[in-house]
Amino acid sequence: MFFDKLAIASFPCRSIHLFSLAKILTSLPSEVWSLSFLTDKQTVLLMQVLLAKHKDDNKFYAVKVLQKKVILKKKEQKNIMAERNVLLKSLKHPFLVRLHYSFQTSEKLYFVLDYVNGGELFFHLQRERRFSESRARFYAAEVASAIGYLHSLNIVYRDLKPENILLDSQGHVVLTDFGLCKEGVEPQDTTSTFCGTPEYLAPEVLRKEPYDRTVDWWCLGAVLYEMIYSLPPFYSQDVAEMYDGILHKPLPLPPGKSDAVCSLLRRLLVKDQHRRLGAIADFLEIKNHTFFSPINWDDLDNKRITPPYNPNVRGPADTQHIDPQFTREMVSNSVSRTPDLTAGTSTNAFNGFSFVANEDSFL
């Protein structure tokens, strides 16, 4: 069977490689993907993703690969299935990555997603240090639209950060990585799992208190702050000191920025979640803030606003916007299994994982 020929050696679950053309099978048994390695010795580390090209239509896709044994050992199967469910629900939003297929072998899970190579927002911030207010407003608006859509589906994102915000080839935002999403959170509901990324954790999460949807608006404020000031609010290399700042210190707002952006940052980065912008009317409050008054939201959602920055990618193999540190990693000539890796108990752990999108879903 072709699944058994996917390869001889594997890569760690957290090691993500970009290839341009090898052999892999989609969820449709009759369809084969035509892939080949970018080089024998170099690859691009990209979020657990292989770059694949469909042999029939020559479209490029990102293939996220996960090892079942690792998932089961860490008891993360519910999170993986939740990620798959969120991906299915986000098919029709312009700023959320889209799932085209999901399938599994005896040892691995595969998500076949939009291929996005305009670079992580984190990469562009590292290179440029900070953005103009107008550029930051554009990205924040597209992200807020995506978060608002997830909230309308009773989904809390919980891990908003520049690393999870990609730019497409035109410069529009694509929000990705739904592994920490929480489904079924109604407007008045709370949840309590401690999760997220240290620099962007909301005070209520740090206090291990029940939290609601406004945790995402805190994270939006933290990302906007970083776009404007080059570092997240309260940032310190000493994590304990940073947490103390998030919990207890007033928000530092160095001079030189507009009243509108400072007002929005103060409203989003309120330590009391019940007083935070978005606590009452959710996304509607964000949209109506004066900082976003230049934004026509209908034009934004229909991508009729020209992005402030064009990545100018030269094609799917263009990696100019991938951090160079990720291009030095050696890889083997295979993309699948490790001889001593088995997933004997995983047969029924991922029932219902496989999915094939109807192209009408994207219209």
* CA–CA separation, 86 and 88 (whole Å): 5
Residue 261 lies in a domain: yes
* Domain stops at, among 301, 330, 358: 301
Same-domain status, 67 and 158: no
Residue 161 lies in a domain: yes
Helix (H) or strand (E) holding 83: helix 77-89
The DSSP string of 214-256 is: HHHHHHHHHHHHHHHHSS-TT--SSHHHHHHHHHHSPPP--SS
Q: What CATH number is associated with residue 194?
A: 1.10.510.10
Tokens 């896709």 locate to 61
Which residue would you say has higher pLDDT here, 51 or 255?
255
Q: What percent of the chain has pLDDT over 90?
A: 56
> Is residue 329 within 8 Å of 43, Cβ to Cβ?
yes
Same-domain status, 34 and 166: no
Which residue would you say has higher pLDDT here, 209 or 315?
209
Query: Which amino acid type is present at position 99?
Result: L
The pLDDT score that the predictor gives to residue 37 is: 27
Residue 108 lies in a domain: yes
Confidence of residue 45 (pLDDT cuts 50, 70, 90): very low
- In eight-state DSSP terms, residue 67 is E
The pLDDT score that the predictor gives to residue 26 is: 34
Same-domain status, 335 and 294: no
The pLDDT score that the predictor gives to residue 324 is: 63
Look up 159 and say whether it is catalytic.
yes
Phi, psi at 67, each rounded to 5° = -90, 125
Same-domain status, 212 and 277: yes
Query: Which amino acid type is present at position 282?
Result: D
The pLDDT score that the predictor gives to residue 316 is: 73
Q: Nearest-5° angle of CA 98, CA 96, CA 294?
A: 150
Name the token pair of 117.
């190579």
Overall domain count for the chain: 2
Same-domain status, 55 and 139: no
* CA–CA separation, 43 and 49 (whole Å): 11
Same-domain status, 107 and 140: no
The pLDDT score that the predictor gives to residue 355 is: 86
Q: What CATH number is associated with residue 69?
A: 3.30.200.20
Confidence of residue 345 (pLDDT cuts 50, 70, 90): low
How many CB atoms sit inside 10 A of residue 215's CB?
A: 27
Same-domain status, 139 and 226: yes
pLDDT at 261 over 50: yes
- How many secondary structure helices (H) and strands (E) does the chain include? 10, 11
- In eight-state DSSP terms, residue 182 is B
pTM (2 decimals)? 0.83
**Average pLDDT score over the chain:** 81
Residue 359 lies in a domain: no
Confidence of residue 344 (pLDDT cuts 50, 70, 90): low
Residue 206 lies in a domain: yes
Same-domain status, 163 and 194: yes
* CA–CA separation, 286 and 137 (whole Å): 12
> Is residue 22 within 8 Å of 335, Cβ to Cβ?
yes
Strand order in the sheet with 32-36: 21-25, 32-36, 49-54, 60-67, 108-114, 99-104, 355-356
Measured CA distances, 299 to 141, 198, 292 (Å) = 11, 34, 13
Name the token pair of 265.
């940052």
pLDDT at 66 over 80: yes
pLDDT at 15 over 60: no
Same-domain status, 81 and 129: no
* CA–CA separation, 79 and 86 (whole Å): 10
Confidence of residue 181 (pLDDT cuts 50, 70, 90): very high
Which of 163-172, 275-284, 312-321 is the least confident region? 312-321
Same-domain status, 145 and 105: no
User: Under 8 Å CB-to-CB from 128, ≥6 apart: which residues?
Assistant: none
Name the residue range of residue 160's domain. Answer: 121-301
Catalytic residue, chosen from 159, 168, 212, 216, is 159
Same-domain status, 60 and 194: no
* CA–CA separation, 181 and 87 (whole Å): 10
Same-domain status, 282 and 161: yes
Which of 8-12, 51-55, 81-85, 154-158 is the least confident region? 8-12
Tokens 């008891």 locate to 75
Residue 355 lies in a domain: no
Residue 282 lies in a domain: yes
* CA–CA separation, 45 and 42 (whole Å): 10
pLDDT at 5 over 60: no
Name the token pair of 73.
């050992």
Mean pLDDT, residues 250-263 taken together: 98
The pLDDT score that the predictor gives to residue 59 is: 84
Residue 346 lies in a domain: no
